[in-house]
Structure 1
Amino acid sequence: MQLDPASGWCQDVELCPSPNFNARPTDEVSLLVIHNISLPPAQFATRKVQAFFQNRLDVTEHPYFAGIADLRVSAHFLIERDGRVTQFVSCLERAWHAGVSNFEGRETCNDFSVGIELEGTDDLPFTDAQYHALTALTRQLQSAFPAITPQRICGHSDIAPGRKTDPGPAFDWARFRADLAQEEGQ
């Protein structure tokens, strides 16, 4: 996986462009937000997240889908349970992943962040393949956008407390941070 800083797109990942993005107000990319998602909830490898981020979700396929039918959202990346990475929006553009949010007193985190969705739920452990892919992708992002320091990597719950809970208690922050630190030291 290689991120092209000039285009904001990764090579060697699945590209699944979403219409749910717009221009950033500045060129700043200084925050990484980690989320989780599964559609339907707690069901994996359905490819429904891809359809959802492309506004192509068939709302008749599952009762849960009716409640999200009118949402227009996206993330920059999705990491599936097997570690496969899909990119929806160039990192140079503003994906619609954070919603009402605040990081260190600054609102509207979509303006300056990259969003990575992990296929999962708050309370089911994530896979080794996901941690490996997340670490590799984060290193690529930090190389392209040096302002994304370890202190500027957070969960959705950190920037939207009380409204969002992801990536949830099942996400192993200590493992992820140790994996990042190990790669830095190599």
Structure 2
Amino acid sequence: MPIDAAGLLDSAQFIASPNCDERPAGTEISLLVIHNISLPPDEFGGNGVIELFTNHVDPQAHPYYQTLQELKVSAHFFIRRDGAIIQFVPCMKRAWHAGVSQWQDRERCNDFSIGIELEGSDTTPFTDAQYTVLAALTQCLCDRYPIKDIAGHSGIAPSRKTDPGPCFDWRRYAADVNRGDLFHAAGHASIGHERP
């Protein structure tokens, strides 16, 4: 999974999102943030997430979409249920995935993180293909950037977010990545750590 100088993954489909900007000068990419998303909620396989991240949501397409009209969000990567990867923002740019957030006394996690969205929900187990691809992508990103930690969206915005949710198997993910140091402060009871 080579990544070029701009931070584009060669094995991903690239669909450019306008919802990004430059990272602050001199900022190192040190955090991976794991999310889940499905649009409409709990429905998989459609184009809702692509439409959201490219500002093309049709508010008439689903009642839930009425709440998304003014939202400007993105992530670097989106992993489909079948393991296909779509990249929306080059890694060297700042994607708008974390919102108001804090990690280990640092605010504005978008500045120094890469956001990975898994097609899923808090109530649906993720697929084997997603775990396999997520582990490979994580290893690739850790080889390319000085990643020090991995956290869920719930770990950086606990009062607002619950994803990747109770169905995400942190123990399996940590074992697949085989880099225990990245999870030391992740705050996941399933791998025996307390929330920072």
What number of residue pairs does the alignment pair up?
Answer: 178
Which residue number in structure 2 is paired with residue 69 of structure 1? 69
Which residue number in structure 2 is paired with residue 179 of structure 1? 176
Write the deviation string for residues 133-165 of structure 1: whole angstroms up to 9, x where unpaired: 1001101100110x213xx00000000011000
Which residue number in structure 1 is paired with residue 32 of structure 2? 32
Question: 158, 161, 178: which is aligned to 2:158?
Answer: 161
Alpha carbons 2:19, 2:73 under 8 Å: kept:
yes
Which residue number in structure 2 is paired with residue 92 of structure 1? 92
3-state SS of the aligned residue for 2:67?
helix
Write the deviation string for residues 87-140 of structure 1: whole angstroms up to 9, x where unpaired: 000000000000000000100000000000000001210000000010011011
The within-5 A match list for 1:110-125 is: 110-125=110-125
CA distance in 1, matches of 2:144, 2:114: 12
Query: TM-score under structure 2 normalisation?
Result: 0.89
Superposed CA RMSD in Å reads 1.0
Which residue number in structure 2 is paired with residue 18 of structure 1? 17
Query: TM-score under structure 1 normalisation?
Result: 0.94
Gaps of 5+ in 1: none
Which residue number in structure 2 is paired with residue 135 of structure 1? 135
CA distance in 2, matches of 1:80, 1:2: 20
Moved over 4 A (4+): none
CA distance in 2, matches of 1:98, 1:179: 24
Alpha carbons 2:78, 2:119 under 8 Å: kept:
yes
Give identity over the alignment, percent.
56
